[in-house]
Amino acid sequence: MKMRPLADRVIIKMIEAEETTKSGIILAGSAKEKPQVAEVIAVGPGGLVDGKEVTMYVKVGDRVISGKYAGTEVKIDGEEYTIVRQNDILAVVE
């Protein structure tokens, strides 16, 4: 199934957190932090949103940091994605 975000929305997929520390200690599932770095999967067209012109600054393939509790989580074909508005993206990781 293919998803196409509308307006200023962006579909992101969280990048899995490291399972071991730098010193080699393996972390249990409950000890891992929720990942905040995600990969952009799809980008909406932007345009007129709530009476204001929105230009999309992120593109597919970018690695981004989003707010911890931002967006709506969805599960499609067994994969988990988050749909966020572009203004919920805090930074692009380079």
Q: What is the CATH number of the domain that holds 21?
A: 2.30.33.40
| 16/86: higher pLDDT | 86
Q: Is residue 4 part of a domain?
A: no
Residue type, 59: K
68: which residues sit within 8 A by CB, 6+ positions away? 34, 36
**With 0-12 CB in 10 A as exposed, 13-18 as middle and 19+ as buried, what is 37?**
middle
Domain of residue 39: give its range: 9-93
When divided into structural domains, the chain yields a total of 1
- pLDDT tens digits, residue range 26-45? 655 544 455 689 999 999 99
Report CA 2 to chain centroid distance, whole Å: 17
pLDDT(90) > 80? yes
Residue type, 93: V
Looking at residue 12, its pLDDT comes to 97
pLDDT(60) > 90? yes
